[in-house]
Structure 1
Amino acid sequence: LTALATCQLIVEAIVENLSIKQELFKSLQSICAKDTLFASNTSSISITAIASVLDKPENMIGLHFFNPAPVMKLVEVIAGFRSSEKQLDLGSRLCHFWHKIPVIAQSSPGFIVNRVARPFYGEALKMLQEGVTKTECIDVLMQSAGFRMGPFSLMDLIGIDINLAVSKTVYASMYNDPRYRPSLIQEEMVAANMLGKKTGQGFYAYHDQKEKPDVAYEPRRTAAKYVSLNLDKQLLADIAKNIKASKHFVVTEHEAGACIQVGECAVLLSNGQTCDQRLQSLPYKHLAQLDLMLDYERCEIIHLAFDSGCDQQTREHIIGMFQLLHKKVMLAQDLPGLVVMRTVCMLINEAADAIENGVCSENDVDLAMQKGVNYPIGLLQWANVLGYAQVVEVLENLQQWFGDDRYRVSPWLRKKC
C-alpha cells in the first residue's frame, strides 16, 4: 500500500464486505495525505459506514461504476452522511473528465439503480411464482415494451446468486420492507447451483447452444369488420389512428367512452383490476384489457385479456383486428395489471419513493435508469406519458387485490396527482 502514498484519489473495488473495506481505508489513511479523496466502488454497502473508521470521513465518497466500466457511461456519486460538498463536487468533475455521466445519490440501500430496479426482477419472479405466465413470455413482453432485455434473461446474465445477494442486502437494510422481499424461487435455484449462464443453467438452459423456448402466440383469426373509435382518448390513440387508417375496417367514431369498441366489447388499457372486476363499473357487456407498451406503433406484441363471459366470436374478432395491424397477439389470463403495466408501475413507484426520501433528484433518477441499466425512457418520463393518476390507480388496485403492502403508493406520486 505504501506505493499509494502520493495518490490524490484512491478508488477501492475489493470484495463486498464492510469490515474488510474499513480495514483497508484505516490502513490507507495512515499512509496518504490528509486531503486524499477516498472512494468506494461498492454497489450496496453504506458509504457512511465505510467512512466511520476514518479520522476525516468528509474525504470519503462513493464512485459506483457500472459493468462493463469502460463502456457504461453512468457513475453514481454517493454522498455519505459526512461527505463534504467539496469532495462530492470533485468526484462529479472527475466523472466528466473521464467522459462519464455522474448522478448524485445519498448513501442508502442500493443507492439509485440497485434500489429502483428491484421491481424489474422482483415482480417478474412474483408473477412466475403465481403462475401468471412463463419466463419466456414475460421476457418477450418486456422487450416488446421497450426494455433491452427481459428480467429472466438479465438475471441469467448477471448471475442468480449475485442478483439474490443484492436483493437480500437491500431487503435487510430496508428493515424487511415487503417491496424488496427476495424470491424463494431464486433461493432454490442458488441451492441447486442453477446460477445462469456461468453454470450453463438458470431460467434458461445454455448447454450446446440450445435455443430459448418458443412463445405461443394466437393463430390467425377473422378480424372484426366494424370498429368504433373515440379519437380523443390519448392512451391508445396510436392504435386507434392505425385502425382508422387501415383499409380492413369500417370505422365509426363516438365522442365518449372507450377508445376502441368492437360490438359490445370495450378495449381499454389495463387499470390494475381484472376484466371481471372492472366490468362491474362500466356500461359495456364485455371488456378486453391491453397490457402497457411504450410505443404501440412499433411494438411487436399485443398482450390482452378478456372478461370471463366474453363470447368466442368477439374474442376472435378483436385478436384478428390486432393481427391485421401486423401485431403478434398473446392471450393472458384475466389477472390484475397483466405483466408490463404491473412491472412499470412498480418501477415508477420505486423511483418516486427514492425522490420522496431524498435519495436523488427527479432528473438524476431518470438519467440513472437510462444510462445505468438501459431503460428505454426515464421512469418519470414514462409516468408523464401514462399519467400519474393512471399509475396510482393501478397500484391501488394491485394492493386491493393482493392485500400486500409492496404495492403501497408513494406519497410523492399522490402529490403529483
Structure 2
Amino acid sequence: HLRGPVDFDALPEPQPKKDFQRDPARFVPVPAVARRRHMVLDELMARARQAAEESSFNTIAEPDGSTRLGIVTSGVSRNYLADALAANGWEGRARVLELGMTWPLPEEKICAFLDKCDRVLVLEEGEDLLEQDIRVLVQRRGLSVSIEGKDDILTHQGEYSTTLVTRRLARWFEETCPVREPRSMEPDLPGRPPNLCPGCSHRAVYYTVRQIFGDDAYYSSDIGCYTLGLLPPLRTADFLVCMGSSISAGSGFARASEKPVIAFIGDSTFFHSGMTGLANAVFNQHDVLMVILDNGTTAMTGHQPNPGMQQDVLGGMSSHMDIETIVRGMGVTEVAKVRAFNIKALTAALKDMKDKPGVRVLITEEPCVLYARRQLKKTAPQVAVVAQQGPEAMRCLEELACPAFYRHGDNLEVDATLCTGCMVCLQVAPGAFKARKRQG
C-alpha cells in the first residue's frame, strides 16, 4: 500500500512499446520446435550456472585463524547462523559459505570451499535439498569431506531460530551449549487458533447452514479466510484440496456418497478457479449445492480487486462481472441470492434448495467487515448488548461463537469495541440480545 502523498512526477516513465517480431520457431512449442528449444534451454542454463559461480549473493567468510570446519547455509538460516556465531564468539571456528543464489547450484564455488574442509555442516530450513545436492556433489567429485545436516535438533519440521542453531552448533563444535533448553508449554493454557473476524458474514452463513444440515451433509471448503469455518462450533470444512477445488472435489464426493454435499467458495476464488469446476458439475449433472460467499473483495490476502467488486470502487479501470449472471449463463437454473446477515431469508433459501437435485448455487452477499470499514467507510451505528442472561444467551455463545462475546463470571457479555453491529445474535437469540447506540 502506498502511504502518504504520491509524487507522480517522480514516477518512472512508462516503458516504450515495441513491435512484436514473429518467430513461430521460438514461440510455438510444437514437438519439432520444443526439441530445438531444449538445446537452447541447455545453453541458457550453462550461462545461468556461470552467473551463479560469479554471483555476489554467494559469499565466503574466512576466519582469521586456520580451520578445517565449514558451514554452508542458505535462506533465513544465514541470519540465525550469523547471530549464533557472534553471540557466542564462534566466528573464528568455521569457514562460512552463504548461498543467496542456489539454482543453478554454483558447483565450482562449492567444491573449492569443500576442498578446504574436513567437516561441513549444512544449515537450511525445510527439506534437506541443499544438503542432498552437496552430498551428491561430494560423491561425484570424489571429495574427502564429511557432510552433516539435519538431526534431532534441526529437523525438516517447523522454523529454525537462533536458539536452535546455537544448540546445533554447540553439538557440532563439541562445546557446552550456552543456551537453556526451552521450557515446555504449560499444559492447561487455552488455545488461540485463528478465527473469523467479529462481524464476518461467513459466520452467519455457516451458522445457518449448520442449523439446517448439521452433520447430515459433507462440507467441501476452499482457499480463503472462510476456510476458518473448519473450527468448532461451525465445523463447515470436511476437506480441502486446493484453490477452486470446493466444487470439483464436492462433485466427486456427491457422486460417491449418499449425503448432501455443500461446496463453499469465495467470490474472488470463484473468479480465479471456481468457474471451471462449476461448468464440470453442470455438464455431469452432479447433485451439489454451491455456496458462493461474496464479500466484495479478496479479503484473505489484502483486499485486492477482483472482477466482482463494486464498480464505483474500481472506477473506470475495469469492468464489473456479475456472479449471478455468470452462474446462470453456465446453465445453472437453481440460483438464489440473499444477504448473508438476513438469517430468515438465508434459512428459507437453504431449505428450498436442500432436497432439490442437480447443481444449485446460493450467492450470499455482504461486504467484508474490514473492507467495509477501511475502504467503503461504513460502520454500523449500533452494537449488540445482552439484555437477558440465561440459556438462550449461552446457546448463542456456543452455536455462533462470535469473538465479540466473552464470559464474565457466569454471564455472557459483548465487547462493544469488537462488536461490528451485524446483529446476527439478535436474530439467533432475540430474547437475549438487543441493540444499543454505539458510544464514542
TM-score by length of 1: 0.24
Q: Which has the larger radius of gyration?
A: 2
User: Hey, which of these two has a bigger chunk of helix by percent?
Assistant: 1
TM-score by length of 2: 0.23
